Amino acid sequence: MSPHHSARLLPLLVAALSCGDAFSHDHVSTGSTILVAEGALWLTSPDDDAVVSLDLDSLDELARFPIGGAPERMLRASDGRLWVSLPLAAAVATIDGSLVARHAIPCGGSYDLAERRDGSIAVSCPNDDRVVVLDRAGAVVAVADVTGRPLALAAMGDELHVGLQRLGGVRVLDASLSSTGERTLEGTPGVHASHPSHFAVDRSRGLVGTYERVEHDADRSRPPEIGGYGSVVDDQPRIDPRLHGACDGPYARFDGGPFVFSGPSGAAWDGDLLWVTHRQTDNVALVRCGESITVVEAHRVGRGPRGIAIHEGRAYVDVGFDHAVAVLERGASTPVLERRRELGETRMDALALRGRDLFHDAVDIHLTPSGVVTCATCHPGGTDDGLTWFLHTPGVDRKLRRTPPAWRARAANAPYHWDGTVPDIDTLGRDTIHELMEGDGLLVDYEALTAYLEQVPAPPPRPIEDEAATNRGAMVFVDAGCADCHPNGGTDGATHTVLAAAADPDARLGSADTPTLEAIRARAPFLHDGRAPTLRSVLLDHGAMHGAAGSLGDAELEDLLAYLESL
């Protein structure tokens, strides 16, 4: 988008994202991991594939609904039904009384939901760059291509606001799902608004969103001895939680005090104040919005808070990694109640779940000293952030490299890094902690980290839309030589000279380790420096060095793309 076009859209977005009576809306909706409905507390439980309801006072379990698909977000629709997103299924779910139903969608995984004014349900599909709309019966009525990994959704009036990871901002769609504007949240080159994953909306106060400001390639003159991303230089970290919209700006203080925050994961209005949860520092902030944001209180809770709901003066926090709920009240020095809940059979074993805690931990000084960064900063949920990072520390030579998905770091896919120089997970973990997160690595359970990386799931396949084209594409994949390096869509574990030299000297790479093509559709941009924005670009612009991909006819190319997008 041109600077002139962005400037024209900015007033629209400022108005749309502001608060106050002039911008009040008679209809607002967004999803959350936790909510209050029908006199009970409801929350998703992705580790054991369920949605549970709890007593609001005792937090005793009232009911459990096995759903599958790692349920993530919920919303209570105007007809009383609960809608649930499923990141590991090609469906969403509904709960109506005691009845659970699944509704197929043309996506491999969903993230957030919002009810539109007409009662239809919008669903974000980050792996497929889509927003899907279902009617009240659960039938798909519209599919919109929304490039940029759509995450958070919020319906306000007739508009649908969409948080986009690859844009690092927000796009606004009208009732017909046509774009009416977008806003990039960070305008400095090499700085990105990463993981805009949650909106809190209020009829009078408006919309506020969470994200992390990350400097991934903003200053290549930075001396390597300063280190990686765990440092705070002149009170400025290179990764910083931010809010945007009706509450706009930074609010954390990386001074070793109680207001160190990392990994904003949820937010909710409570009258004139806003609660914000932080998955990576295990705490919750209560902030006052104005010309600047003031932190009123901070509360430490258990591991991995995911979301928050407000009811009758209490804040109920979904403490996801501990499978607990914490109840907070304004002015209380500690949670008035925090209780673990029962857990069914989990997808990952206990060691892997411990590894997930470490993967998201910004509190343990052996992992990172200042609470700034975690493995999950660049690999949210075990995936990737879609960014290309400039790296340069005393132990890392100058380089510009695209983040690979963390789930790729399984033993079967060794060796690791784009140049294939890291032989095993243990080395990968130690190097990352020492050089990029700046921890000393002492007392770190590397066995648990390895277990998590082995078990964290890749995005699920998208339902095949044209079986004949996909089958033809599988044949093209073999005939064009793609399967020579990617047997069955995987990796041969070798490095190959497949790239023309980059114009950027920091992006040059002599030979590249063969990546697995699993879930390749969900991993744009492509190649080691992110030079190819789409799979089509990989084949058309860089195919000459990828087997016979560069010489395919139009029909063969379309079939090959259909096959690749099915993996």
Strand partners, 400: 390
> At a CB cut-off of 8 Å and minimum separation 6, what does 507 contact?
388, 399, 400, 528, 529, 531
Interior angle at CA 115, CA 167 and CA 198, nearest 5: 40
Single-letter code of the amino acid located at 191: V
Q: Which residues make beta-bridge pairs with 75?
A: 83
Domains 351-455 and 467-564 share a fold: yes
Q: CA 424 to CA 176: how far, in whole Å?
A: 49
- pTM of the predicted structure, to 2 decimals: 0.94
CATH 1.10.760.10 fits 467-564, yes or no: yes
Instruction: Measure the CA–CA gap between 368 and 224, rounded to whole angstroms.
Output: 17
- Determine whether 38 is exposed, middle or buried from the number of CB atoms within 10 Å of its CB (0-12, 13-18, 19+): exposed
Alpha carbon distance 517, 365 (integer Å):
36
496 strand-pairing partners: 512
Dihedrals phi, psi of 47, to nearest 5 degrees: -65, -30
DSSP 202-215: ETTTEEEEEEEEEE
Identify the residue whose tokens are 């937010």: 267
CA angle 58, 64, 67 (to 5 degrees): 145
Q: How far apart are CA 162 and CA 173, in angstroms?
A: 8
Q: Where are the domains of the chain?
A: 351-455, 467-564
CB 306 within 8 A of CB 33: yes
The matching CATH number, chosen from 1.10.760.10, 3.40.50.620, 3.90.550.10, 3.40.50.20, for 351-455 is: 1.10.760.10
The pair phi, psi for residue 254, each rounded to 5°, is -95, 65
Task: Give 397-456 as a DSSP string.
Answer: EEEEEEPPPGGG-SGGG-SBSTTS-B-SHHHHHHHIIIIII----TT--HHHHHHHHHHS
Per-residue pLDDT of the chain (567 residues; tens, 9 = 90+): 333 333 333 333 444 444 333 456 789 999 999 999 999 999 999 999 999 999 999 999 999 999 999 999 999 999 999 999 999 999 999 999 999 999 999 999 999 999 999 999 999 999 999 999 999 999 999 999 999 999 999 999 999 999 999 999 999 999 999 999 999 999 999 999 999 999 999 998 999 999 999 999 999 998 999 888 998 988 889 999 999 999 999 999 999 999 999 999 999 999 999 999 999 999 999 999 988 999 999 999 999 999 999 999 999 999 999 999 999 999 988 899 999 999 999 999 999 999 999 999 999 999 999 999 999 999 999 999 999 999 999 999 999 999 999 999 998 888 999 998 999 988 999 999 999 999 999 999 999 999 999 999 999 999 999 999 999 999 999 999 999 999 999 998 888 888 778 889 999 998 889 899 999 999 999 999 999 999 999 998 887 777 787 789 999 999 999 999 999
